[in-house]
Amino acid sequence: MDPQAIEKLIDNGRDGYEARLAAGQARQASGDLDRAIAHFEAATAFKPGNTMAWQALGRARHEQGDDEQARTAWERGLAAAQANGDKQSEKVLAVWLRRLERAASDD
């Protein structure tokens, strides 16, 4: 989807978790990680208990080369998943955190 179309909706008062998540995903797909991260951060502020934005924020931070911030996002997502009983998200986030740890120990 066109990130500018989604951002226009946001600017016209249709701001919310889903809009920010979609805008972030569209920006990330187009390679605009800075703007993607800003949208993902806004999404996590709207609904900090939803794990999808935390997962996406961590991936964008990791793609940007900021593994410390990626770790922080994924840890917050893991805490949200545990609080919600979302076992699938727990597994996914745990895998990403382990991969990050392994990569750090390989350096």
Q: In this structure, what CATH number is given to the domain that contains residue 75? A: 1.25.40.10
Provide the pLDDT for residue 31: 96
**Contact indicator for 43, 24 with CB cutoff of 8 Å:** yes
In this prediction the pTM is: 0.94
Q: Which domain holds residue 47?
A: 3-106
Domains held by the chain: number: 1
Task: Tell me the Ramachandran region of residue 48: left when phi exceeds 0, alpha when psi lies from -120 to 50, beta otherwise.
Answer: alpha
Look at residue 107 and tell me whether its pLDDT is greater than 80.
no
Residues 83-99 have pLDDT tens digits of: 999 999 999 999 999 99
Using CA atoms, how far apart are residues 41 and 27, in angstroms rounded to an integer?
13
Distance of CA 87 to the CA centre of its chain: 18
